[in-house]
């Protein structure tokens, strides 16, 4: 029996279930039994169960996206149950997927939809965004989730997800979404302020090269620090390595003192004021602008207070 087909034929042979296996010439698209895969068994595109098809909402590359499109076209006549991770009952050697694995996949899928709904709700909460497209995306995700849960007789136990689904049904959903957005914005602002304060503790130790003290910082403090580092408020920070006579940034860049001083002198009045269209070289970087409280060099935005700290420390 023929087992190698072109890319277009593989999904159609799979959809007919007329043979137990098939693949394309390089093995990047293949099926075994009811399931079709892209680039290995780690990525099942879809699996057929009678007239139903469990079909992925995920994609990893342009080629995989093409595989997905071809598979989707081949089962257009069937009932599609969408899911992020496809729960495949059997993998190689007819080894069944155990109950624990199914539980993890179900959890991942529900979290996927929950994340999408939350994201769209926050965007809906922004008054500058038009609500129609966000409402449509939310409803699509809700429909996919409900169809999936119905197919597997899967109860929704996650309290946050249940609350979100209840909100979606509310007649004043948009107003509540905006209230939720305002509440989250306020919570984020509080957390960033707490993170900034915690980061100052870390910064003082970092500038002293006190790695042991940093290791001993409480985990809740470190969580706030990491949160702050991921915020838009965070900037690249500076310290002075006296032994090596160089400046070091919090992103790991090392700058000899003489190079840093030369750039500082060239900045001249731009240290105090705002300057655009600068071109001051600093090793592999270029200072392009200064603002009220920052200096920008490539992907680094450095607080002016750090530059002044180094200048005072080295008596420039």
Say if 214 falls within a structural domain. Answer: yes
For residue 149, the model assigns a pLDDT of: 96
For residue 5, the model assigns a pLDDT of: 92
My answer on whether 229 and 280 are in the same domain is no
pLDDT tens column, 123-154: 887 777 778 888 889 999 999 999 999 999 99
pLDDT tens column, 161-209: 998 898 888 888 888 888 877 888 899 999 999 999 999 999 999 999 9
CB burial readout 10-34, b (16+ within 10 A) else e: bbbbbbeeeeeebbbeeebbbbbbb
Res. 88 pLDDT band, cuts 50 70 90: confident
My answer on whether 13 and 83 are in the same domain is yes
My answer on whether 89 and 29 are in the same domain is yes
Q: How many CB atoms lie within 10 A of CB 228?
A: 21
Stretch 277-297: mean pLDDT? 95
My answer on whether 89 and 165 are in the same domain is no
pLDDT at residue 78 above 50?
A: yes
Say if 174 falls within a structural domain. Answer: no
Res. 102 pLDDT band, cuts 50 70 90: confident
Q: How many CB atoms lie within 10 A of CB 242?
A: 10
Domain boundary among 169, 202, 221: 169
My answer on whether 245 and 264 are in the same domain is yes
My answer on whether 36 and 84 are in the same domain is yes
For residue 184, the model assigns a pLDDT of: 83
The percent of residues above 70 in pLDDT, for the chain, comes to 97
My answer on whether 244 and 311 are in the same domain is yes
Domain boundary among 61, 94, 127: 94
Give the Cα separation of 257 and 265 in Å (integer). Answer: 12
Q: Which residues lie closer than 8 Å to 124 by C-beta, 6 or more apart?
A: 131, 134, 135, 138, 174, 177, 178, 181
My answer on whether 70 and 24 are in the same domain is yes
- Our count of domains for the chain comes to 4
Stretch 11-25: mean pLDDT? 94
For residue 292, the model assigns a pLDDT of: 93
My answer on whether 262 and 290 are in the same domain is yes
pLDDT at residue 92 above 50?
A: no
Say if 213 falls within a structural domain. Answer: yes
Stretch 240-249: mean pLDDT? 96
**Enclosing domain of residue 106:** 99-169
pLDDT at residue 297 above 50?
A: yes
Answer yes or no: are the C-beta atoms of 59 and 40 closer than 8 Å: no
For residue 81, the model assigns a pLDDT of: 97
Average pLDDT, the chain: 91
Positive or negative: CA dihedral 73, 112, 132, 81: positive
Stretch 68-91: mean pLDDT? 89
My answer on whether 206 and 230 are in the same domain is yes
Say if 113 falls within a structural domain. Answer: yes
Answer yes or no: are the C-beta atoms of 231 and 189 closer than 8 Å: no
My answer on whether 229 and 240 are in the same domain is no
pLDDT at residue 89 above 80?
A: no
My answer on whether 77 and 23 are in the same domain is yes
pLDDT at residue 90 above 80?
A: no
Give the Cα separation of 238 and 225 in Å (integer). Answer: 16
Give the Cα separation of 85 and 101 in Å (integer). Answer: 11
For residue 97, the model assigns a pLDDT of: 64
């Amino acid at each position: 029996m023929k087992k190698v087909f072109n890319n277009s034929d593989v999904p159609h042979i799979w959809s007919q279930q007329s043979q137990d296996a098939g693949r394309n010439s390089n093995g990047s698209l293949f099926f075994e039994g009811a399931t079709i895969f892209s680039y290995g068994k780690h990525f099942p595109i879809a699996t057929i169960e009678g007239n139903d098809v469990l079909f992925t909402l995920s994609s990893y590359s342009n080629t995989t996206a093409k595989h997905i499109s071809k598979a989707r076209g081949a089962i257009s006549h069937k009932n599609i149950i969408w899911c992020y991770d496809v729960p495949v009952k059997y993998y190689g050697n007819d080894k069944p997927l155990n109950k624990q694995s199914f539980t993890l996949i179900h959890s991942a899928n529900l979290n996927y939809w929950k994340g999408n709904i939350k994201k769209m709700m926050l965007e809906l909460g922004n008054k500058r965004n038009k609500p129609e497209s966000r409402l449509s995306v939310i409803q699509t995700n809700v429909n996919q989730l409900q169809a999936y849960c119905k197919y597997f007789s899967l109860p929704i136990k996650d309290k946050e997800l249940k609350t979100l689904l209840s909100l979606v049904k509310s007649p004043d959903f948009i107003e509540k979404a905006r209230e939720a957005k305002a509440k989250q914005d306020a919570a984020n602002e509080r957390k960033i302020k707490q993170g900034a304060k915690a980061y100052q503790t870390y910064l003082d130790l970092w500038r002293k090269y006190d790695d042991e003290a940093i290791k001993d910082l409480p985990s809740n403090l470190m969580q706030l620090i990491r949160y702050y580092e991921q915020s838009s408020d965070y900037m690249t920070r500076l310290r002075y390595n006296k032994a090596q006579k160089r400046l070091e940034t919090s992103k790991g860049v090392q700058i000899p003192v003489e190079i840093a001083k030369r750039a500082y002198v060239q900045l001249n009045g731009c240290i105090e004021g705002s300057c655009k269209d600068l071109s001051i070289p600093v090793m592999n970087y270029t200072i392009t602008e200064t603002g009220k409280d920052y200096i920008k060099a490539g992907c680094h935005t450095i607080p002016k207070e750090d530059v002044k700290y180094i200048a005072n420390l080295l008596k420039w």
